[in-house]
Structure 1
Amino acid sequence: MFTRKKIDAIYRGEIIGKEIIFLESATSTNDVAMSIGRQRKDPEGIVVIAEEQSQGRGRLGREWISPPGVNLYFTVLLRPPFPPREAPVFTLAAAASVVSAIRDYAGIRAGIKWPNDILIGKKKAGGILLEMKAHEGKIELLLIGIGLNVNMPLSGFPDDLRPLSTSLGIEGGKPIDRAGLLCRILEEMEASYNILLTGDKRTLINQWLRLNFTIGNKVKVQNQDRVITGIAENINDRGELLLKLPDGTIETLNSGDVTILKNS
């Protein structure tokens, strides 16, 4: 479990982590963060961490299994000086930060599946949930919610998710210090945010490309009521997926559920 000593030692950057709010339990860290963001005059950089979530969720409102004492559930609040159309790049930056931290701290070769999944091999170990409050063409509050299966045993997953899910502890064969890993992730996120503030999106997109498991593969994309199959060619500067269809045309996708069919 997180102790007060471990919480006090969590990374505090110039922006991200300037204030750490720890909760034994929350509905979801994004819910708490949104409430805090609406109340605070300057919520930029606040990090909300929960030991467990009673209503953890991923994209499209899907349930995120969030038992106590084994995983990481946290949300970073930002107020970036960007228009709402630029928000998706923060998903890319957060995913790259998480994967870089896992590789460096835990020595496990994690990767990214577009747009927001953290994979180890073909199994999901974590995800990013981006939520935003905007007004008059400006981002008023950006929530970067991160759920990461750290020391979850296989028995902790529902039966239907066991073939598709994993944790760092399962893959590495030993427990991972959650507080230490969290510190490393926040350090990476601070560095990425500072790069974005200079306007240098290309550096972060290149980092994402180095760490991704999607580009170059044949994929199936569930996009609203459509299912599209093609080769994941690239992403653009807005973080959208460029999918090469069988007839050679390129379709640009800003969302969707990707299934990797085979390596090219």
Structure 2
Amino acid sequence: MYKILANTLFLGKEVIYLPVCHSTNDLAMDMLKSGKVTEGSIVIAGEQTHGKGQRGNVWKSAPDENLTFSLVLKPSFLNAMDQFDLNIMVSLAVVEALAYFDLELLVKWPNDIYTKNGYKVGGILFENVISKGKVSGSVVGIGLNVNQRTIGLDHATSLINISKRQFDLKTVFDLIVHRIEQNYIMLKSGKHKQLKESYLKQMYLFNVWSKYSDENEFFGKIRGIADDGKLIIEKESGMINFYAFKEVRFIKE
């Protein structure tokens, strides 16, 4: 079903398809740690029995209706302090690829894929290996609700529900991988600022007053992303706060 990609330079030149897999990220990480995997290798599953989300959350997906895959990168050119740039370039690539289908989606910090009205359609999990101050390896897991009509989670949806059309999973997969490679090449060539600017333009609730909660509920406006990936929010009082992942949450009204 999923073959070697012809329109890429190195991503997807080895594609391992498994009808059922406990976690593509776990398998890809084992391959990375073995030292026997080439950069750009991809593990994709028709069904994940223990799909992983951020910070131990579980990613649930119906068999053969969605995309659940992990790719291996070796961005040793990237300093450990700049590892959030991987989040930026991959999240942006997914949104850019889906724009091919006239889908206007956004990135919800740090790396979820959202509709403009606040429904999640996908998520991305990064597991990085740091060595001597560099990102020696990274496993990027992508889960995208594509043809699954009933999600069973609040504030979640799928591409088929948004567009009222069926998608060819292989086509969506190819477009996403191709776009990730293009953005990765940009990152490798030092175009960090350009990627970050594009990410902010595609960012959910950027420069919009919304309701949040840290230790208390408050109204705030996202002003940007710090170099270390922290979310910058301006409160109504004018105070500027920097938040790491799970230190603040958006309250959907």
Instruction: Tell whether the structures are fold-level matches, with TM greater than 0.5.
Output: yes
Instruction: Give the letter aligned to residue 198 of structure 2.
Output: Q
Q: Distance in 2 between matches of 1:222 and 1:55?
A: 30
Q: Conserved in 2, the CA contact under 8 Å of 1:202 and 1:237?
A: no
Change (3 A) 1:66 1:199: same
Change (3 A) 1:96 1:227: farther
Change (3 A) 1:260 1:201: farther
Partner of 2:81: 85
- Could you tell me which runs of 5 or more consecutive residues in structure 2 were left unpaired when the two chains were aligned: none
Q: Is residue 112 of structure 1 aligned with residue 107 of structure 2? A: yes
Instruction: Give the letter aligned to residue 16 of structure 2.
Output: I
Partner of 1:170: 161
Instruction: Give the letter aligned to residue 118 of structure 2.
Output: K
Question: Which among 72, 76, 82 is matched to residue 71 of structure 2?
Answer: 76
Change (3 A) 1:30 1:205: same
Q: Conserved in 2, the CA contact under 8 Å of 1:113 and 1:258?
A: no
Where 2:200 maps in the other structure, the secondary structure is: helix
Instruction: Give the letter aligned to residue 56 of structure 1.
Output: G
Instruction: Give the letter aligned to residue 77 of structure 1.
Output: V
Partner of 2:231: 241
Within-5 A mapping of 1:111-130: 111-120=106-115, 121-130=117-126
Within-5 A mapping of 1:146-165: 146-154=142-150, 157-158=151-152, 161=153, 163-165=154-156
Q: Distance in 1 between matches of 2:135 and 2:4?
A: 31
Instruction: Give the letter aligned to residue 245 of structure 1.
Output: K
Q: Distance in 1 between matches of 2:229 and 2:196?
A: 8
Question: Which among 46, 57, 62 is matched to residue 57 of structure 2?
Answer: 62
Partner of 2:24: 29
User: C-alpha offsets along residues 150-209 of structure 1, whole Å, 9 cap, x if unaligned?
Assistant: 00112xx23xx1x41100011110111110011110111001000000111011111112
Change (3 A) 1:9 1:135: closer
- Could you tell me which runs of 5 or more consecutive residues in structure 1 were left unpaired when the two chains were aligned: none
Question: Which among 186, 190, 196 is matched to residue 181 of structure 2?
Answer: 190
Q: Distance in 2 between matches of 1:222 and 1:39?
A: 42
User: C-alpha offsets along residues 81-107 of structure 1, whole Å, 9 cap, x if unaligned?
Assistant: 212221111111111111111111x22
Instruction: Give the letter aligned to residue 89 of structure 1.
Output: D
TM-score, normalised to structure 1's length?
0.87
Partner of 1:216: 207
Query: Across the two proteins, how many residue pairs are aligned to each other?
Result: 249
Instruction: Give the letter aligned to residue 201 of structure 1.
Output: H
Q: Which moved more, 1:85-94 or 1:211-220?
A: 211-220
Where 1:24 maps in the other structure, the secondary structure is: strand
User: C-alpha offsets along residues 36-93 of structure 1, whole Å, 9 cap, x if unaligned?
Assistant: 1111345311111111100012112111112211000011111112122211111111
1:219 CA displacement? 4.0
1:227 CA displacement? 4.8
Where 2:20 maps in the other structure, the secondary structure is: coil
Instruction: Give the letter aligned to residue 235 of structure 1.
Output: I
Q: Distance in 1 between matches of 2:108 and 2:240?
A: 19
Q: Distance in 1 between matches of 2:15 and 2:7?
A: 8
Q: Distance in 2 between matches of 1:130 and 1:54?
A: 19
Q: Distance in 2 between matches of 1:123 and 1:11?
A: 33
Q: Distance in 1 between matches of 2:160 and 2:205?
A: 24
Partner of 1:251: 241
Q: Distance in 2 between matches of 1:107 and 1:92?
A: 21
Instruction: Give the letter aligned to residue 146 of structure 1.
Output: I
1:254 CA displacement? 3.1
Q: Which moved more, 1:177-186 or 1:237-246?
A: 237-246
